[in-house]
Structure 1
Amino acid sequence: MDQNRANGGALTPEARELLRALDRGAQGPAPLAGSTGGTPAPDSCNVVTCTARQAAQLLACSPGFVRRLARSGRLQGHKAGPVWLIDRTSLDAYRFGETTHDHIAGTSAAA
């Protein structure tokens, strides 16, 4: 007579595969090649960012315009999931008319 799992019988191959898949999922994603220690944060952990919505309030424009500025490279930023995070220093440089080169050199465009 066949034994079923309720009385100590063997698992079916399908049940065994399901348990393996659940175990793999519980262990988290496999590391990507070349990313053994994880991906470092952009530049430094001291980078202060704001969301595209917050940046838009400061610039008096739409969040979509801020996202376009970030995609074009006029603002430094990156996506974290669905949210754009904008580098606050880059945002301030844009707000006050400094070019990226001027900002790095510590001078203003008006000087």
Structure 2
Amino acid sequence: MFNKLSGEGYISNLKDTEQKTLVYGDKTLMVEFKFKKGSVLPKHSHPYEQTGYLISGHMILSIDGKTYDVHPGDSWCILDGLQHSAEAIEDTIAVEVFAPVREDYLPQKTYEEMTK
């Protein structure tokens, strides 16, 4: 699967937050998240391992009770089942990979349509 840079396809599930599934395969899914300054991702957990990389901005990330001051170039891995949350200190862009694939993050187009 290959995906060209595009401003289309972003959705908003939380206030001041946008996300877009970039690519996915049989075992992983990659998502870009855009957080506006002050936005908060509430504490939650899920059955997916989540690895991330901060592209731009600044955020505070909490993983399993530990707090991290995250700047561009920093990365993280959140094991499945761990409680985590985030707060955007400034406008922020992060890319995260989930394994296994999050069915709830799959785009409306089928895999076959996206790989033509």
What TM-score, normalized by structure 1, do the two folds share? Answer: 0.19
Whose strand proportion is higher, 1 or 2? 2
Higher relative contact order (CA closer than 8 Å, sequence separation 6+):
2
Whose helix proportion is higher, 1 or 2? 1
What TM-score, normalized by structure 2, do the two folds share? Answer: 0.19
Q: Pick the structure with greater CA Rg.
A: 1
